[in-house]
């Protein structure tokens, strides 16, 4: 049986937003590592704007999880890459992530501001690790 424990250890400042500092997986039989998911829609078009691209990234992560018989509750770690580090962009990311994660278990998360992604049209990328 797999158990996933999420917590914020003593001695570390509270998280800056909705994520867990530590996620411990014990007894995992299956691990899923998803490549970075970009803001492309199912028809191959790149979504317009940061919020829409983030929604597409998270939808693509959800599709990858579902394909493996997993869901958001199985997420262990999210790594998010943004090309815009302004407070507005970070707030948009947090709002879209929080809307997607909802009230479920919180994964560990890392946000990186990068100079660019594989195409100048891409504003965000999300990769994920899940266990069940």
Predicted confidence (pLDDT) per residue in 45-103, tens digit: 999 999 999 999 999 999 999 999 999 999 999 999 999 999 999 999 999 999 999 99
Strands (E), 46-104: 75-82
**Sequence-ordered strand ranges (E) for the chain:** 3-7, 22-26, 31-38, 75-82, 108-113, 124-131
Q: Please state whether the predicted TM-score (pTM) of the whole model is above 0.95.
A: no
2 pLDDT above the threshold of 90: no
* Domain annotation for the chain: domains and CATH numbers: 3-131 (3.30.1330.40)
Residue 130 in this model has a pLDDT that exceeds 80: yes
- What pLDDT sits at residue 45? 97
Q: Stretch 20-35: mean pLDDT, rounded?
A: 91
Contact 113, 84 (CB under 8 A): yes
Q: How confident is the model at residue 5 (pLDDT cuts 50, 70, 90)?
A: very high
């Amino acid at each position: 049986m797999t158990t996933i424990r999420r917590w914020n250890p003593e001695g570390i400042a509270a998280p800056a937003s909705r994520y867990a500092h530590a996620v411990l997986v014990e007894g995992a039989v299956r691990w899923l590592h998803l490549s970075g998911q970009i803001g492309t829609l199912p028809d191959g078009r790149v979504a317009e704007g940061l919020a829409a691209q983030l929604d597409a990234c998270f939808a693509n992560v959800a599709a990858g999880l579902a394909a493996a018989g997993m869901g958001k509750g199985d997420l262990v770690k999210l790594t998010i890459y943004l090309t815009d580090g302004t407070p507005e962009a970070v707030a948009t990311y947090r709002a879209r992530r929080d809307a997607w994660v909802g009230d479920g278990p919180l994964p560990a998360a890392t946000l990186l501001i990068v100079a660019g992604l594989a195409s100048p049209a891409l504003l965000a990328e999300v990769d994920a690790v899940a266990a069940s």
